[in-house]
Amino acid sequence: MQSDKILKKYKELFEALENYDRTRELPSQRKRIDVTLSVRAINKLKELSKKSGKPVSHIIEEKIFNC
């Protein structure tokens, strides 16, 4: 049947939707973006990354979400 083909083809998507129905949370997705920062800001982020052992992206996310 056509519906079986659709279910097989989009199995991961349907599982994600089922999970959303249960938890009301979307899967964590990350997306790469390009931003322009000053050299000073970049150096500060690299320094924080080196001290904490966290990637620069995690440092930025923490600062944004913990405002």
DSSP annotation string for 50-61: HHH---HHHHHH
Q: Which of 63, 33, 36, 38 is nearest to 48 (CA)?
A: 63
0.75 exceeded by the pTM? Answer: no
Range(s) of the domain holding residue 45? 2-27+36-65
Helix (H) or strand (E) holding 43: helix 39-52
Whether the per-residue pLDDT at 66 is higher than 80: the answer is yes
Cβ atoms < 10 Å from Cβ of 14:
13
What's residue 52's pLDDT?
A: 96
What is the total count of domains within the chain?
1
